[in-house]
């Protein structure tokens, strides 16, 4: 029996560029930075004073006051993005399909905002004042559970926690589950809300983040010679995956098809990447897709704006694509959204799907000075109109986790 074909029928997003998928997409193709001064806490005594925060998000507009207090910020983002994606897809969760729908959602560090806040309560007010809701609010898998509860989804429910590859793995594993016929549809994506004093300090102290405080909007500059680290971001993105048969049977709009997925590990170092694992993931995705390298028109790069990552990813792309690499359009949308950690892959998968749908490749902004180690076409500063037959989206995470997913136009 042939495996099921898997398509995308709905998208939703909450991001530093807007609190919906259309607003996020418009910000991306306009080349607008979502980075600015941190407003969630006082950063005056810190080395980094900026981040890519979600703006104008009012939890009370989506949840009651009591429920808002019992949902970590990252879970709030996940629920709003999922509600939008389900509405966009027209997929109603009913008694007939609730058991046949999965939730596969990723988060790198889950409800860390809750964890840190409740630890402060413990230190200042004592153990009896710690919230009884702290544990279910802070677990990385809370978004998956809350999505199931809010929308009545009773199928497989899995949280992928693979650092910055988390939500790309979620999409890939959901794809494999539908492909194998275990479920007919899946809610897949990822969320993160990591902008805290602790995380900003910790990432800075390991030398991972930018300190371009005089120009926050220009701080995330993937592949630029003068890049000095990533910018922390927050948000969520959700994709609705379905079997092609199911989508056609209900007359759903189809954005794109998923045709390849590769997942590997560097087995090299807990934080420092190499090119071997990412190259293997891209090759595995290409092999499953059946596409020749010259059939990929766009790569949404992991492109974090760190010196080592961007050079290694460039080397990996050249190792996989050879001379074709110089014909590819590549961009890192982290230059605009910042790095959503475990939520990054889903946001960038949505971007790849929209690039196929709209025939527009978003730019890498803040690209000013070419780096000899990064010598490919990164779509500098301005979006480009170009038909996209197939797009590859990369996500690589601490621990050596690598995930590549290939999306394509639906072709019969």
Pairing state of beta strands 36-37 and 360-361? unpaired
- Quickly state the pLDDT bin for 26 (edges 50, 70, 90): very high
Residue 254 forms part of a structural domain: no
Whether residues 242 and 364 fall in one domain: no
pLDDT of residue 130: 97
Residue 308 and residue 279 in contact, taking contact as beta carbons nearer than 8 Å: no
* Within-domain flag for 10: yes
pLDDT, position 273: 81
Q: Are residues 222 and 76 in the same domain?
A: yes
Q: Are residues 187 and 288 in the same domain?
A: no
- Tell me whether residue 1 is in a domain: no
Q: Are 51 and 338 in contact (CB under 8 A)?
A: yes
Domain shared by 241 and 287, yes or no: no
**pLDDT recorded at residue 51:** 98
Shared-domain flag, residues 120 and 209: yes
For residues 4 and 245, the answer to whether their CB atoms sit within 8 Å is yes
Residue 2: pLDDT band with limits 50, 70, 90: confident
Per-residue pLDDT, averaged over 165-182, amounts to: 98
* 100 domain residue, yes or no: yes
Non-local (6+) Cβ contacts of 234 within 8 A are: 16, 51, 52, 53, 54, 73, 74, 77, 192, 193, 194, 195, 338, 340, 343
The last residue of a domain, from among 249, 277, 299? 249
Position 272 confidence tier, pLDDT thresholds 50, 70, 90: confident
Which whole number is the average pLDDT over 34-60?
A: 97
Q: Is residue 213 part of a domain?
A: yes
pTM score, two decimals? 0.97
Residues spanned by the domain of 76: 6-249
Q: How many CB atoms lie within 10 A of CB 250?
A: 12
Q: Is residue 121 part of a domain?
A: yes
What is the pLDDT averaged over residues 107-122?
97
Same domain, yes or no, for 210 and 272? no
Q: Are residues 118 and 218 in the same domain?
A: yes
Is 290 found in the same domain as 227? Answer: no
Rounded alpha-carbon distances, angstroms, from residue 329 to 152, 195, 388: 40, 31, 10
Query: Are β-strands 157-160 and 185-192 bridged in parallel, bridged antiparallel, or unpaired?
Result: unpaired
Catalytically annotated residues: 164, 302, 339
Number of domains within the chain? 2
268 and 207 assigned to the same domain: no
204, 224, 249 - which closes a domain: 249
Radius of gyration over alpha carbons of the chain, in Å? 20
Residues 271 and 345 grouped into a single domain = yes
Confidence grade of residue 152 (pLDDT, cut at 50, 70, 90):
very high
| pLDDT at residue 270 in the model | 87
Q: Is the pLDDT of residue 1 over 80?
A: no
Among residues 205, 230, 249, which one ends one of the domains? 249
pLDDT tens digit string along 273-314?
A: 889 999 999 999 999 999 999 999 999 999 999 999 999 999
In a domain, 255, yes or no: no
Residue 402 belongs to domain with CATH number? 3.40.47.10
Query: Both 244 and 271 in a single domain?
Result: no
What pLDDT, on the 0 to 100 scale, is given for residue 113?
97
- One domain for residues 81 and 174: yes
Q: pLDDT exceeding 90 applies to what percent of the chain?
A: 96
The residues near 204 (Cβ < 8 Å, ≥ 6 apart) are: 46, 47, 48, 211
pLDDT above 70 covers a percentage of the chain that reads 100
Q: How is residue 322 written in tokens?
A: 């050879």
């Amino acid at each position: 029996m042939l495996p099921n074909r898997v398509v995308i029928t709905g998208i939703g997003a909450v991001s530093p560029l807007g609190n919906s998928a259309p607003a996020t997409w418009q910000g991306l193709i306009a080349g607008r930075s979502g980075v600015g001064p941190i407003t969630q806490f006082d950063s005056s005594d810190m080395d980094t004073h900026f981040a890519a925060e979600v703006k104008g998000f009012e939890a009370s507009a989506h949840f009651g006051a009591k429920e808002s207090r019992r949902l970590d910020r990252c879970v709030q983002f996940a629920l709003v993005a999922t509600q939008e994606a389900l509405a966009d897809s027209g997929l109603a969760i009913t008694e007939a399909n609730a058991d046949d729908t999965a939730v596969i959602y990723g988060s790198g560090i889950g409800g860390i905002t809750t964890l840190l806040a409740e630890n402060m309560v413990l230190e200042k007010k004592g153990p009896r004042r710690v919230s009884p809701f702290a544990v279910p609010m802070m677990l990385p898998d809370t978004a998956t559970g809350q999505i199931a509860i809010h929308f009545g989804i009773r199928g497989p429910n899995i949280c992928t926690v693979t650092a910055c590859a988390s939500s790309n793995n979620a999409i890939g594993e959901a794809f494999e589950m539908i492909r194998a016929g275990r479920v007919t549809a899946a809610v897949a994506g990822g969320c993160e809300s990591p902008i805290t004093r602790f995380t900003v300090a910790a990432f800075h102290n390991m030398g991972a983040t930018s300190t371009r405080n005089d120009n926050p909007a220009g701080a995330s500059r993937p592949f630029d010679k003068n890049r000095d680290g990533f910018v922390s971001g927050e948000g969520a993105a959700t994709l609705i995956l379905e079997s092609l048969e199911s989508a056609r049977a209900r007359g759903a709009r189809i954005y794109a098809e998923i045709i390849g997925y590769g997942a590997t590990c560097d087995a090299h170092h807990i934080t420092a990447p190499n090119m071997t694992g990412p190259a293997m993931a891209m090759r595995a995705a290409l092999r499953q897709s059946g596409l020749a390298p010259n059939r990929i028109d766009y790569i949404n790069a992991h492109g974090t704006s760190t010196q080592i990552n961007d050079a290694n990813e460039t080397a990996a792309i050249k190792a996989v694509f050879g001379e074709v690499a110089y014909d590819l359009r590549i961009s890192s949308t982290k230059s605009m959204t910042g790095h959503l950690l475990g939520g990054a892959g889903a946001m960038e998968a949505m971007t790849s799907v929209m690039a196929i749908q709209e025939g527009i490749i978003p730019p890498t902004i803040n690209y000013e000075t070419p780096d000899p180690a990064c010598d490919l076409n990164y779509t500098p500063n301005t979006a480009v109109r170009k038909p996209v037959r197939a797009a590859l989206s990369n996500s690589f995470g601490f621990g050596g986790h690598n995930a590549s997913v290939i999306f394509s136009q639906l072709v019969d």
